[in-house]
Amino acid sequence: MKILIINGPNINFLGIREKDIYGEMTYDNLCTYLYKEAKKINIDIDIVQSNVEGEIIDYIQDAYKKYDGIIINPAAYTHYSIAIYDALKAVNIKTIEVHISNIHQREEYRKISVTAPACIGQICGMGVYGYTLSMMALKRIVK
């Protein structure tokens, strides 16, 4: 099984930005953690990050027929990117949306996800463990 993990804007600043919300783990440490977790459950992963909406769409489109699943943290694009929603629908790859923080306990505008309806599920508020949960779920769901 091969999964693409896509991280959106400012995720590359983990460990720097709002540590009270996102924790101390740096982005590089997150990637190292995810590769180790994937290996434990016998999944191949690739990880990408972009602060640019169009690049995220390119990653999604490039995943077509190459990946069995996608895990996406669209970050701020969660709340307004119909283009990312459309790309996820277009490729028809089982996708789980992940958020490190609990978006439902934050500002009102963060409680709305326009991208989640293109996904089979959403995991939020579990910290970086949400990515691991998503990998485990996709391994069971995707046949």
- The amino acid at 29: N
**Cβ atoms 61, 93 nearer than 8 A:** no
Low-confidence ranges of the chain (pLDDT < 50): none
**DSSP structure class, residue 98:** E
Any catalytic annotation for residue 59? no
pLDDT at 106: 73
pLDDT at 141: 96
Any catalytic annotation for residue 99? yes
The CATH code of domain 2-141 reads: 3.40.50.9100
Helices 27-40, 129-141: inter-axial angle, 10-degree rounding: 30
Distance from C-alpha of 2 to C-alpha of 45, rounded to nearest angstrom: 6
pLDDT at 24: 80
Please tell me which residue in 22, 59, 85, 131 is annotated as part of the active site: 22
**Which segments within the chain are labelled E, that is strand?**
2-7, 44-49, 69-73, 95-99, 121-124
User: Can you give the residue ranges of every domain in the chain?
Assistant: 2-141
C-alpha angle 77/143/69, rounded to 5°?
A: 20
Please tell me which residue in 59, 77, 85, 99 is annotated as part of the active site: 99
What's the pTM? 0.94
